[in-house]
Amino acid sequence: MAPIDGYWGQPTSTIDWCEENYITTKYIAEFWNTISNLAMIIPSITGFYYAYRNNLHQRFMFCFLSITFVGFGSWNFHMTLLYEMQLFDEIPMIWGSLMLVYCLMIHYYPKFRENIYKNMMLKMILITYGVLSLFTYLYLKTPILFQISYVILVTYMLYLTILLLRYRPCNRTVFYVATFIYYFGAFLWMIDNFYCDKLRLFRQTNTILPFILNPMTQLHAWWHVFAGYGSYLHILFCTHSTYLATDKPLEFRFIWYVGLFEPMPTRIAITNQSNLHQSNDHHQYNYQQIIPPPHSATVFSAAAGGRKRNSDIAQNQAQQPSSGGDVNQLDTINTTTVDGISTAKQPLNQQNQSTYQSFADIADPVQNPHLFIHVASGQKISRPWQAYISDLDDFFERIYYYYRKSGFTCIVVENILQLLEIILVVLFTVFFIHCIDYQVLFKKKLPDGHQPGTPLKITISDVLIPFNQIHLSSLEVFFLLFYAGFWFCKFGVAVHTILSNYAIRSFFIEALQIHDPLLYSWQEVQLRLINAQSQCLLRETHLDELAIHNRLLRRANYMIALINKGVLPIYYRVPLLGECIYLTSGLEFNFRILLFRGVFSLFDKNWKLRDEIKSPAERLECARRFSNRCLAVGLLNLILLPMIFLWQSLYAFYTYVEAAKRDPSLFALRTWSRYGKWFCRHFNELDHELDERLNRGYRPAARYMNSFRAPLLEILARFVHTIAAILLSVLIALTVYDEDVITVEHVLLLFTGLGAAIAISKAFLPDPEPNRWTFGELDAAILQHIHYRPHNYPSHTIQARNAMGNIFVYKSTTILEELLSPLIVPYILIRHLRSRSLEIIDFFRVYTLELADIGDVCTFSQFNFHQNGHRIFTNPDQQKTEQNQSVVQSMMSMNTSKNGKNNAEVLPDDRNTTRNGKLELSLINFKLKNPKWQPPDLSQMQFIDLFTRQSCDDPGIPNLIFPDGQLDSQMQPAIVESKSTIDLCSPTTSAYPAIIETQPGPSSSVRPDNIRNQQRQSQMVIKTSQIGDSSTGMLESSDFGFNKTRRRLLQLRYGNMFSEQERRDNQMALSSLYFHQIVSESQSSRQQSQNFPLPQHQQQLSQSTSLSEQRTHGSRNNESIPLLRSDHEARRNL
């Protein structure tokens, strides 16, 4: 508090800062906090002057003026510490933030700038927010409300700026510097608040150089300096980004002696207009040569510092002439002399193919760094969904999201309820902690106003504490502010999601003629999207099913390949637990941030990998940068650990406690793990297709895992079950006799605990229903749906069970892993992911393919059968020779890498192929899911046709499913003959023509004159009722009951009951069984015949590598978990 002789009297503000009052002079209450506001006033006035002189938009002038008002208001507030001056300080902060939010929104969302009604609506929303914040603050007079409002606006500004970094041309350096300066000042502000007493004690006890240490320890004053300059830079960033997207970009010259920037308008040379012609329509594009003024001290400019925006030329796009010269060649750019500066005639492009995304890089950045291409003037967006076509990846993702979420209404309701759920979780937590008197609730004290000796009956009002009587600690306020900022981020995302999906809704109705997506399959939506290509202004050379899936699943295909190659650090050996695979939602989110989605990710745009990642010469530097990013993200996870862990704990408590009381056996059920979903996923397979497959494979997988017996656990579980049942029976009998027993202390807890013990112990007891299927049958039933085997062992062994347990885990294990994720993820990022930096960089460089009309995609997503196919199918004759040669090359490269003489990547011998037949099965699955897709390579179609025919005609498939020989010798030929291949070009051809067709036809496998053979096959079908669920030689995994058997029998007898999708799923199941049978036989024969002599030193390296692999894989040859690392790294990690 201020002394009595202070010039302004006693402070009346609601907050008094850490600086001692009236120490330096009696006219200024907080001297250093006052004069530090010059760092806000001077830059903002200078920015306003330059903006006015260069005739910039008025909104930027108002932004600079708002910072000036904040500086003057803060000056008066810290000088007087009066409540009126406090309002003069804090209210301009809110309105200045609203002004900057307005500038960012109309730049990122052009509809707010082009549509006057939407612009007015945005202004009214922001003004309403400011007015409500003002009146609420004036009424309650608490600084917490101001801090919450200000944090919300700053968080939303940060979110909009991140969107600008990803999708708009802007200068990243200015944003990074401004953000760092601002948040560093905020960090000092927080320290000044939390450690004020210690700082004051230090200033009072320090007698050495007090004139230096006193201002240095005034951290709130430093907050003014950093916040003022950071806000000034942020306005410059917004100004530069806005003008960079126009035809008059700006340059900013740095004035070093004052530390400010002066905007310099760019001079524009007059150029000839070039005509770009396309096959369908003709559009005229304006090319302008941007010539920067000759300033020696240019820090960032539109040409050198900005990112070229692809959406500016997305809607009207020209196709480059082919090498054959049939299309008119592009004109060159002829520039004229302007102010003595002339440019020579230069060719526009030398490439053969180009699309909307490659137009941005149409000029050589070295020869012509100032070339820009713009959309023809006068064109406006007539439909709301056309604003999203500029980025086809994002556009297709929104279409699929709209389809997956079942329409606009479901999306709106889901987003609103998610926001409401966050609010209720936080409010209920605060209410249960502070608003309930537990002493009264537990009858440890009497309620207020209750007389002793009278009958006690506690009501709800007796245990409630009024809201105005609760007191929140500083830590609780910090958590509430954090969750409030998180909620407003979610609110902004929800609003953006609803608005974008409203536009997608109009696209579905207008372009696709779909009003209810629930009535259509994805293949039908996809077909209509391809047919509407010209209407949607999609300027791709050829839009087909594979192109759509490559854009939709660009990042998912990389994740599948990363896990298939074993690059990501998710395999660990834990003491007492053995080999474990750890992949949670939090860890996967961090992987996506570092690799794909983050500002510092490996992708410069949605579709483009950074150029330095593709360069072999910069692989070490890229690995170093990626390692530093992993460290930064790991440290950020450590900082956010308390908030994330608290939120996950609360969410788990509110979600699973009720389930534990109602049905504890739910925790003993199994579910597919995240690793299992990635392991079983095909390349170019959508989410709903994967979920459908795994759902069909759930029951056989559960029966398979339950078929394994653990005698010791069964004995212990039976004992626990018996004891708990005895105690629970006695308690139930006592409660029936006298209901007052239930009021005894801890009786309800005992009821709950005994019920949970009984339910959990039942999970370890054998199923009372006898098991009708062998391990081989169940293993085949699982394989026909998940399509990949996680092991190479006999299905009845414990190794096979453990491998299956990695992808099919207990629900309780998943809950525990998610709870521990905030603690483990930072360790994995800092300790293990950083050590894999070079391998990850090499992976993206080696396995990235640049397509002219799509962008950078994973190599395996193109189904290049000759280059990435399995040796068994590509060149089986040279399989052994190639393998041994690759082993020798791998050993030599390992020696060279360890000696440090070469920087070439260390890759395994099968670096061009996928493990577990991922590529081959993905190709077959994609063709079966998209029957109208025509593979570009003839060998792909030949492989699909030959493989599906052989899988249907191979007599070993029934033996694989029924190893016990249950098939009748006369029944097997009929069943095998009935499995004819599907005509992939005709979606209406039956999968079982030998049985389905009642009358012979040209496509029937039964001759017209062979009626006796048809009658014999019909008799064979009737006999299939004795096989359980094996009506076509396949074990139906979804249901094992008698009713399902009858349905399958009818499907065989009357084939029209099969849906087209069921036929293709059955064909894929046969293909997966046949593929793994071939691979298994090939591996066994290769292990027996492989004998390749190596020199002695290479034999030692080979033995060392084999020992490392045995340690890594638990002394087993597991093909599904390969490791892309050297022997030294494997030993170090283990």
Say whether pLDDT at 678 is over 90.
Answer: yes
Tokens of 566: 């074993």
Contacts of 361 (CB under 8 A, 6+ apart): 308
Q: Is 580 helix (H, G, I), strand (E, B) or coil?
A: strand
pLDDT tens-place string over residues 943-994: 888 877 777 665 444 333 333 333 333 333 333 333 333 332 333 333 333 3
Which residue has 């007492």 as its token pair? Answer: 576
* In contact, 861 and 557? CB cutoff 8 Å: yes
Q: What percent of the chain has pLDDT over 70?
A: 67
Q: Is 848 helix (H, G, I), strand (E, B) or coil?
A: strand
Q: Which residue has the higher pLDDT, 711 or 902?
A: 711
Is 30 labelled a binding residue?
Answer: yes
pLDDT of residue 262: 65
What is the rounded average pLDDT of the residues 342-357? 32
pLDDT tens-place string over residues 459-478: 788 888 887 788 888 788 88
What is the rounded average pLDDT of the residues 357-362? 30
Tokens of 909: 């011998």
| Nearest to 397, CA basis, from 405, 534, 587 | 405
Angle at 1068 between CA 1063 and CA 1071, to 5 degrees: 130
Q: Which residue has the higher pLDDT, 494 or 1055?
A: 494
CA–CA gap between residue 207 and residue 949 (Å, rounded): 92
Give the Å distances, CA to CA, from 419 to 149, 331, 374, 422: 18, 54, 40, 5
What is the rounded average pLDDT of the residues 724-731? 87
Q: Which residue has the higher pLDDT, 521 or 1056?
A: 521
pLDDT of residue 334: 36
What is the rounded average pLDDT of the residues 267-289? 32
Is 1109 labelled a binding residue?
Answer: no
What is the rounded average pLDDT of the residues 612-617? 89
Burial (CB < 10 A; 0-12, 13-18, 19+), residue 1034, is buried
Q: Is 300 helix (H, G, I), strand (E, B) or coil?
A: strand
Q: In degrees to the nearest 10, what's the CA dihedral of 793, 796, 799, 801? A: 120
Q: Helices marked H in 109-171 — which ranges?
A: 110-114, 116-140, 143-167
* In contact, 883 and 909? CB cutoff 8 Å: yes
CA–CA gap between residue 121 and residue 132 (Å, rounded): 16
CA–CA gap between residue 452 and residue 441 (Å, rounded): 16
Which residue has 């060159």 as its token pair? Answer: 332
Q: What is the DSSP string of 250-276?
A: EEEEEETTTTEEEEEEPEE--BPPEEE
The pLDDT-based confidence of 317 (bands split at 50, 70, 90) is: very low
Give the Å distances, CA to CA, from 1075 to 114, 243, 787, 1071: 57, 58, 9, 6
Contacts of 1041 (CB under 8 A, 6+ apart): none
Q: Which residue has the higher pLDDT, 701 or 743?
A: 701
| Nearest to 992, CA basis, from 1045, 947, 1056, 1038 | 1056
Q: What percent of the chain has pLDDT over 90?
A: 14
pLDDT tens-place string over residues 624-635: 999 999 999 999
Say whether pLDDT at 681 is over 90.
Answer: yes
Is 688 labelled a binding residue?
Answer: no
Q: Which residue has the higher pLDDT, 1116 or 842?
A: 842
pLDDT of residue 161: 83
CA–CA gap between residue 212 and residue 227 (Å, rounded): 22
Is 19 labelled a binding residue?
Answer: yes
pLDDT of residue 211: 58
What's the predicted TM-score (pTM) here?
0.61
pLDDT of residue 250: 63
What is the rounded average pLDDT of the residues 374-395? 63
pLDDT of residue 1127: 35
Residue 1026: CB atoms within 10 A of its CB come to: 12
Instruction: Quote the mean pLDDT of the chain.
Output: 71
Sign of the CA dihedral with 231 first, then 236, 237, and 238 last: positive
Give the Å distances, CA to CA, from 290 to 98, 264, 275: 33, 13, 19
The pLDDT-based confidence of 354 (bands split at 50, 70, 90) is: very low
Residue 808's DSSP bridge partners are 672
Tokens of 319: 């196709």
Question: Dmax of the chain from CA atoms?
Answer: 120
Roughly what angle, to the nearest 10 degrees, separates helices 747-763 and 711-737?
A: 150
Q: Are strands 848-851 and 274-277 parallel, antiparallel or unpaired?
A: unpaired
Q: Is 150 helix (H, G, I), strand (E, B) or coil?
A: helix
Of the listed ranges 488-497, 508-517, 789-798, 994-1003, the one predicted with least confidence: 994-1003
Give the Å distances, CA to CA, from 461 to 50, 365, 434, 668: 63, 73, 14, 40
pLDDT tens-place string over residues 1060-1119: 777 777 778 777 777 777 777 766 666 555 544 444 444 443 444 343 333 333 333 333
CA–CA gap between residue 937 and residue 863 (Å, rounded): 9
pLDDT of residue 541: 56
pLDDT of residue 417: 93
Angle at 876 between CA 870 and CA 881, to 5 degrees: 100
Which residue has 């990690």 as its token pair? Answer: 1133
Count of positions (residues) in the chain:
1134
CA–CA gap between residue 67 and residue 62 (Å, rounded): 9
The b/e string for 1041-1063 (b: 16+ C-beta within 10 A; e otherwise) is eeeebebbbebbbebeebebeeb
End-to-end CA distance of the chain: 61
Tokens of 840: 């990850």
Of the listed ranges 53-67, 144-158, 248-262, 270-284, the one predicted with least confidence: 270-284
Residue 921: CB atoms within 10 A of its CB come to: 21
Tokens of 851: 């397509």
Q: What is the DSSP string of 537-566?
A: T---S---HHHHHHHHTHHHHHHHHHHHTT
Alpha-carbon 765 to chain mean position: 39
CA–CA gap between residue 586 and residue 594 (Å, rounded): 13
Q: Is 924 helix (H, G, I), strand (E, B) or coil?
A: helix
Q: Are strands 267-268 and 274-277 parallel, antiparallel or unpaired?
A: unpaired
Amino acid type, 939: S
pLDDT of residue 686: 94
Fold classification of 31-237 is Rhopdopsin 7-helix transmembrane proteins (1.20.1070)
pLDDT of residue 247: 58
Q: Is 783 helix (H, G, I), strand (E, B) or coil?
A: helix
Tokens of 49: 């002057």
3-state secondary structure 392-448: HHHHHHHHHHHHHCCCHHHHHHHHHHHHHHHHHHHHHHHHHHHCECHHHHCCCCCCC
pLDDT of residue 260: 63
Contacts of 536 (CB under 8 A, 6+ apart): 386, 389, 507, 511, 529
> Residue 960 is inside which H or E element, if any?
helix 956-961
CA–CA gap between residue 1021 and residue 1011 (Å, rounded): 16
| Nearest to 693, CA basis, from 525, 928, 519 | 928
Tokens of 639: 């900082």
Q: Which residue has the higher pLDDT, 557 or 1061?
A: 557
* In contact, 376 and 286? CB cutoff 8 Å: yes
Is 21 labelled a binding residue?
Answer: yes
pLDDT of residue 832: 93
Residue 5: CB atoms within 10 A of its CB come to: 8
Q: Which residue has the higher pLDDT, 820 or 147?
A: 820
pLDDT of residue 466: 81
| Nearest to 906, CA basis, from 626, 679, 623 | 623
* In contact, 687 and 549? CB cutoff 8 Å: no
pLDDT of residue 869: 76
Say whether pLDDT at 1009 is over 80.
Answer: no
pLDDT of residue 685: 93
* In contact, 351 and 393? CB cutoff 8 Å: no
Tokens of 651: 């969410």
The b/e string for 633-658 (b: 16+ C-beta within 10 A; e otherwise) is bbeebbeeeeebeebbeeeeeeeeee
* In contact, 28 and 215? CB cutoff 8 Å: no
Q: Which residue has the higher pLDDT, 1019 or 30?
A: 30
Q: What are phi and psi of 260, to 5 degrees?
A: -120, 175
Domain-wise residue ranges, the chain: 31-237, 268-291+300-321+328-380, 660-812, 895-1094
CA–CA gap between residue 681 and residue 679 (Å, rounded): 6
* In contact, 529 and 548? CB cutoff 8 Å: yes
pLDDT of residue 659: 79
